[in-house]
Structures are given as C-alpha cells and as structure tokens.
Amino acid sequence: MRRKRVIAGISLSVIAMLIFVVLTGRGAQGPFGSSESNPIAKMDEVQKLQETQKVLRSIHDLYDERVVFITTEQIVKIPNNPFGDDFFGPFFGPPSSGDKSGQQRTQKRKGLGSGFIISEDGYICTNYHVVAGAEKVFVKIKGKDYQADVIGSDDRTDLALIKLKTSDKFKPVFLGNSDDVNVGDWAIAIGNPFGLSNTFTVGFISATGRKDSEMLGGVQAMLQTDAPINPGNSGGPLINIKGEVVGVNSQIISQSGGNVGIGFAIPINAAKSILEQLKVYKKIKRGFFGIQPVPLTEEYATERGLKNNEGAIVGQVVNDSPAEKAGLKVGDIILKIDNRKILNAPDLVEVAGNTPVGKTVKILVWRDKGELTLFLTAKERP
C-alpha cells in the first residue's frame, strides 16, 4: 500500500509538470488565444505605423506639463421674483433663501477651458471666451494649482493672454508655422473636454483659410480639423506631427453640442501677433493700410494678364494713408504681402489688421501687366 501511494504521488507530479510545460510553451497567451505567431505584427506596414505611434506617444509626453487646465469664477446678479419666492411655491416647491424685496441676488458661476504655456515665466495663451467676465482665474498644471491674472483679451479674434501669479519657471510649447499647414496634415488636439484633463485626440487638417461659415464671423481665417474637439478644449493647442503648435482650438460646429468632426483653430501665426500686443499694450492696436479692397474676378484677372484671380484689387486709397505714401494706386492688384500670398479681398483685410503698428511690409503689386514692389508702414487703425 505504501508503495502504491508513492508511485501515485510521483505520477501526479509528472502530470503537473507536463501541464506546466504545455502552458508555458504557449507563451503569454495562457490557455486562451492562438498559439500561432501573429502574421500582421510582422508586416512592414505595421512596423512603420508603430514608428508613428511612438511619435504620437512622444508628443503626449512632451506636452504633459505644457498644456493647462483653466477654471474661472464669476459673480452674476440674478433678479428676484417680484411676487416673492413663495409665489410659485405650490407649483415648483419650497421657497428659496432669496429675499422678497425685489432686489438682485448674486450667484457664483464657474467655467472651464484649456490653455498652453508660451513662456518660462508663466504667460499662457487661451481663448477670450474662456476668461471673459471672469473675476478669478485658476490654472492647474500637473496637479498643482495656481491663480492667474488676465493680462489682455480680444473678442474679435477670441484670444486672451493670462499670467500665472508665481515666480516658478515653466516649460513653454514649441511654436510652428501655420502658413505651412496643408490639408491632410496630422492634427493633434490636447485639452480638457468636459473637464477631463489632458485628453489627447488625433485627426487631420480638413481645410485651411476657412472663412465661409457664418459661425466663424469672417474675421479670422481658421484651420479646420476632424481631431475631436469638445467643450472644454477651447484654448488648447492644435499640434502638428513634429510636436509644434500650429493653432489655438476655438470652436466647433455641432447640433448636439458634442464633436461631429468639424472643429476650428486660430492659426498660430495670427495668434502670435495678437499675443505680443496683448502683452505690451493690454489691448489690440490693429494695423491700418488705408486701402479699400475689391474682389478680383477671373474675367478682370485675365484682362489684366494674370493667370488666375488670386489677389485683391485696390478699390480706394485713403488720403494721407500709409497706402498713399507707399505709392499704391486705384486698380493695383495686391498679390503678396511679405511672404504671404493674398488670395482674396478678405485676406488683405486680415493681413492689414494683424500687422503690428509701425511695421514696414513689402507689398508685391501687379500694375500695367507687370510686378512692382512697394513698401508700406502700417499705422494704427482709427
């Protein structure tokens, strides 16, 4: 009997060892999943995609301390019910704590949004509508809370500049060139949609120079993207595949209030000029050329010897204006200002408004079926 028990014990040990060998031989799959090697994982295309995946992960890590969570507080006045709070009590419940004298009462309203650090000493770019009317602004960076002052804001471009109340040093973002952005480029949005901090979404640039939506107001050409942007993303960065900020996320078009793949960002090149002015002047001093532009039609462009209708006609030159002093004449066609092409009349208005006061720009003009270069120094818009 004793011998049989020993043999049985040995047999069980051998069986257990065999089971262990079989299971471990199947790798990390355990008892489930295929024991065959995955053919997809070995494909060259997958290896290339994995390199892109590494880049995206690196961008996420790079911006971990550069994108901020903004919350605001605003005290609003609400008029009391002139009939007294208990007038509607039988219908809507017990009376509130407000007085019955007809005077206004106050209520604390909170808002949230995103932003990104643009200097080591704590200047942050965000949207005007994120901080508009705010009496207190709070900023969270990597779980640490700060208070901030609104240095300046501009409702026309929906941009604002705030400054952290601290002597700490911070990591600023890397600014790119939004003029180089093209449809089909990678687009990465980082922000705090619905208060979910540091949300990272990826898509593509859907359109550039977008002005043809009534929602956009036609003031600033926008970058359109399908990278998911939702309420709370406002003020956060739109980033290219090189890890550079090319836009400031600002708006969405949606019937539900959530993302449907149509979001808009303010080009960073336009934002730079605005932010610099807000830092110096606390407001915007818009450039003034003294030109009344007229749309350039295809027929008129052909008549003047141009290959296409990209440009803007000088329809009027204001007396004693920078345009008059530069030598511009009615009928001139403006093709380019500095290194930027002028595609149409609204483009010219935008460039003029974004030109810093006192800056001299080089204007490429088409006159008498030939190119002419003129120099214009912008004044402040009256």
Catalytic residues: 129, 158, 234
Alpha helices in 292-357, H assignment, sequence order: 298-303, 322-326, 345-354
Nearest in space to 112 (alpha carbons), one of 9, 236, 12, 285? 236
Distance CA 369, CA 61 (A): 53
Distance between CA atoms of residues 166 and 341, nearest Å: 42
By the 10 Å C-beta count (0-12 exposed, 13-18 middle, 19+ buried), 6 is classed as exposed
* Cβ contact 17:25 at 8 Å: no
**For residue 380, how many C-alpha atoms fall within 13 Å in the half-sphere facing its CB?**
6
- Cα angle: 308, vertex 345, 373; to 5 degrees: 70
Q: Which helix (H) or strand (E) holds 313?
A: strand 312-317
Among 159, 141, 139, 161, which Cα is nearest to 150's?
A: 161
Of 172, 177, 188, 198, nearest in space to 241 by CA: 188
Question: Can you tell me the distance from the alpha carbon of 301 to that of 19, in angstroms, rounded to the nearest whole number?
Answer: 83
The CA distance from 344 to 367, in Å, is 17
Rounded to 5 degrees, what angle do the CA atoms 159, 164, 169 make?
Answer: 115
End-to-end CA distance of the chain: 111
> In the 3-class helix/strand/coil scheme, how is 243-256 assigned residue by residue?
CCEEEEEEEECCCC
DSSP state of 210: E
With contact defined as beta carbons under 8 Å apart, do 238 and 188 qualify?
yes
* Alpha carbons 353 and 356: distance in angstroms, whole number: 8
Backbone angles phi, psi at 134, to 5 degrees: -70, 135
